[in-house]
């Protein structure tokens, strides 16, 4: 990686796709305990300087009461070549700091989207927790 400096002006979030949602709020009460998890996948197109971050966000109880979202975030990165090296198999290895930055932008945006979508449900007012993007790096979804 030549210069691993992340320049915000070179990151463009150009499309957000809410792929799927699941909201089951039929029997919630104030004692409901929800387990929170977030996982991600990354996809890339080096030629077009694009990265897609797929986020899978779950807030579920043992009774399947809760919330699930799959949201895709599409980025165009003007200086993408500065954020990866090719391994021996010519596959790109992206900088952890770079992917963590995109995860942070994506998750922060997802929190607002989810908050808005929950306003007409029994989960009204629920705010997802803040999560360290560096911790999210370890939450890669198995395909």
* pLDDT per position as a tens digit, 2-53: 457 899 999 999 999 999 999 998 877 777 788 899 999 999 999 999 999 9
Q: H or E stretch including 108?
A: helix 96-117
Q: Do the domain assignments include residue 3? A: no
Between strands 84-86 and 66-77, the pairing is: unpaired
When divided into structural domains, the chain yields a total of 1
CATH number at residue 60: 3.10.420.10
Rounded to whole angstroms, the Cα distance separating 81 from 58 reads 33
Whole-model pTM?
A: 0.90
- Give residue 1's pLDDT: 47
Q: Do the domain assignments include residue 55? A: yes
Q: Give me the domain span that covers residue 84.
A: 8-136
Contact in structure between 39 and 118 (CB atoms under 8 Å): no
Q: Do the domain assignments include residue 142? A: no
- Give residue 139's pLDDT: 79
Query: CA 50, 8, 40, 75 torsion: positive or negative?
Result: negative
- Give residue 25's pLDDT: 85
Query: CA 36, 116, 76, 132 torsion: positive or negative?
Result: negative
């Amino acid at each position: 990686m030549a210069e691993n400096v992340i320049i915000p002006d070179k990151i463009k979030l150009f499309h957000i796709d809410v792929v799927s949602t699941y909201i089951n709020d039929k029997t919630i009460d104030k004692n409901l305990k929800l387990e929170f998890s977030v996982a991600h996948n990354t996809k890339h197109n080096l030629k077009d300087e694009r990265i897609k971050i797929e986020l899978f966000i779950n807030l579920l109880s043992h009774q399947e009461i809760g919330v699930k979202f799959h949201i895709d975030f599409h980025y165009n990165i003007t200086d993408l070549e500065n954020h990866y090296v090719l391994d021996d198999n010519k596959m790109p290895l992206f900088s952890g700091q770079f992917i963590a930055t995109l995860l942070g932008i994506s998750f922060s945006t997802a929190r607002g989207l989810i908050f808005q979508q929950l306003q007409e449900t029994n989960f009204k007012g629920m705010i997802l927790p803040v999560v360290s993007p560096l911790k999210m790096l370890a939450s890669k979804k198995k395909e």
